[in-house]
């Protein structure tokens, strides 16, 4: 059976496709590659090919943060290529979660260096990239052609132990004119035990079927999928994976005031719950999928989020974490990300200055930006509140969530102020409406009191993640037990 590998090509943090490798023929398909990857996983794909086109052009990895976001939010096996020119680039790729790294240009320009990597990392970790134009191997993001003919180029490395080759026929790539089946058959005749991955030109299901009949082990496809020319239902994807969908996330939230974790009811009556760094490490060890740290008085008092706490947290935990509170400008975001945060959450500042969402996502990518919305069901409908829930705004919950998504936010963190801390369940109807109206993930917050509430957040509220505080902080619901319960209820969670 041929291995089906969808591709995500990245420029400026966005999912794009080129035609024949021409950067001037760029088409943006989605601003959030992580969400594209999540959709692939939901369909049943097991593997993903990610290309850092900025990296290929600039000769060093550029979009490793995007790679990290994809690997942290999916269980896909990710092959990563583009800009791999030094061992530091390889280390960055593996550190960001890549399962395999594709190396192309260096194998042409510096064979001893490539062979040293092959020896160090092993043939199961490296894919030899062979991009071909007019029979010659191309380099530097397809900008230059080398003097190397394809088959002799492959032979020198296959003889040294290379097992995986990704071969792209550049003249076919992005054209939807069908793959270079003759070329791939020629390679397979010469090296029948090679795990060859064909790339370029796939236009429809029939092209994939032809490659499979020709005995090609794997195929990468991109544009045909994005433009709806491939019928996923006809692909032989695992039905179990399709039915389970994406894994739901459990996220402890640590509200921080004066360096200590606190928790209250309806945003008031706070009591201390412990050191946020120690709690964060305990949750990481217990199997939490992510963490959120919110400086709950920063917006009201005009203070900056405690950068030193973020640094300490980053040193202690190995799961993604989001930091919010007092983020008012790009410099705040940059400082927090540099300190070790994976994402930032903005609330009051986003409502005051909606263009801040645009600025964050344009500079750092949509996956970095979580738009937190505190809302209350008033007599005239759901309204957004700012300054820690102290001040009502004219914005309606659903309109503002849609605007935040359109501006590039990668996730919505919705807290129902009426439900916060009272432990009677989440705002399921509002959650379901948000989940149906938005294409980005929705995180449920406010109201968790027992395990059934998490189940209902996913099943009734259709949320992608559920966030809670006191039930975790005070030991009322252990995370491992919660995940076991949810799994028994038929909800896909990572154990």
Active site residues: 255, 374
Which positions ≥6 away from 265 have C-beta within 8 Å? 420, 421, 422
Distance CA 377, CA 373 (A): 13
Contact yes or no for 398/406 (Cβ under 8 A): no
Q: What angle do CA 82, 83, 84 make, to 5 degrees?
A: 95
Contact yes or no for 131/86 (Cβ under 8 A): no
Distance CA 162, CA 160 (A): 6
Q: 403: buried, middle or exposed (CB in 10 Å: 19+, 13-18, 0-12)? A: middle
Three-state secondary structure call for residue 478:
coil
Distance CA 170, CA 139 (A): 11
Contact yes or no for 197/167 (Cβ under 8 A): yes
Distances (CA, A) of 213 to 216, 217, 446, 475: 8, 10, 54, 57
Question: What are the backbone dihedrals phi and psi of residue 68, each rounded to the nearest 5 degrees, phi first?
Answer: -60, -40
Distance CA 286, CA 134 (A): 55
CB atoms within 10 A of CB 239: 9
What is the DSSP code (8-state) at residue 234?
G
């Amino acid at each position: 059976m041929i291995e089906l590998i969808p591709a995500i090509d990245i420029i400026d943090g966005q999912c794009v496709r080129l035609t024949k490798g021409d950067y001037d023929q760029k088409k943006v398909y989605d601003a959030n590659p992580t969400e594209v990857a999540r959709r692939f996983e939901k369909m049943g794909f097991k593997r993903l090919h990610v290309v850092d086109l900025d990296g290929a052009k600039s000769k060093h990895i550029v979009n490793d943060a995007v790679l990290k976001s994809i690997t942290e939010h999916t269980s896909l096996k990710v092959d990563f290529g583009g800009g791999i020119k030094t061992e530091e680039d390889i280390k960055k790729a593996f550190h960001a979660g890549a399962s395999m790294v594709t190396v192309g240009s260096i194998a042409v320009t510096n064979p001893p260096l490539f062979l040293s990597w092959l020896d160090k990392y092993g043939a199961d970790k490296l894919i030899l990239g062979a991009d071909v134009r007019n029979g010659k191997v191309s380099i530097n993001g397809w900008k230059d052609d080398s003097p190397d003919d394809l088959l002799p180029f492959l032979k020198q490395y296959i003889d040294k132990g290379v097992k995986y080759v990704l071969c792209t026929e550049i003249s076919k790539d992005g054209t939807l004119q069908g793959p270079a089946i003759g070329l791939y058959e020629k390679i397979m005749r010469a090296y029948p035990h090679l795990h060859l991955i064909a790339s370029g030109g796939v236009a429809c299901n029939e092209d994939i079927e032809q490659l499979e009949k020709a005995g090609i082990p794997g195929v990468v496809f991109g544009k045909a999928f994005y433009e709806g020319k491939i019928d996923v239902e006809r692909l032989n994807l695992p039905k179990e994976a399709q039915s389970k969908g994406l894994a739901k996330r459990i996220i402890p939230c640590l509200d921080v005031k004066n360096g200590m974790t606190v928790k209250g009811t309806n945003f008031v009556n706070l009591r201390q719950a412990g050191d946020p760094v120690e709690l964060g490490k305990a949750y990481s060890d217990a199997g939490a999928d992510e963490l959120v740290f919110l400086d709950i008085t920063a917006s009201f008092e005009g203070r900056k989020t405690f950068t030193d706490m973020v640094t300490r947290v980053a040193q202690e935990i190995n799961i993604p974490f989001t930091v919010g509170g007092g983020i008012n400008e790009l410099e705040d975001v940059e400082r927090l990300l540099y300190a070790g945060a994976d994402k930032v959450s903005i609330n009051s500042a986003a409502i005051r200055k909606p263009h801040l969402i645009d600025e964050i996502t344009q500079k750092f990518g949509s996956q970095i930006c979580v738009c937190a919305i505190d809302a209350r069901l008033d007599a005239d409908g759901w309204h957004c509140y700012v300054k820690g829930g102290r001040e009502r705004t004219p914005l309606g919950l659903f309109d503002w969530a849609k605007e935040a998504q359109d501006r590039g936010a990668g996730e919505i963190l919705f807290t129902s102020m009426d439900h916060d801390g009272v432990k009677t369940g989440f705002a399921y109807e509002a959650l379901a409406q948000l989940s149906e109206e938005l294409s980005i993930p929705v995180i449920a917050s406010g109201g968790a009191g027992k395990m059934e509430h998490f189940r209902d957040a996913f099943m009734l509220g259709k949320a992608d993640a559920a966030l809670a505080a006191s039930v975790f902080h005070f030991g009322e619901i252990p995370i491992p037990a919660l995940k076991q319960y949810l799994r028994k209820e038929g909800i896909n969670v990572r154990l």
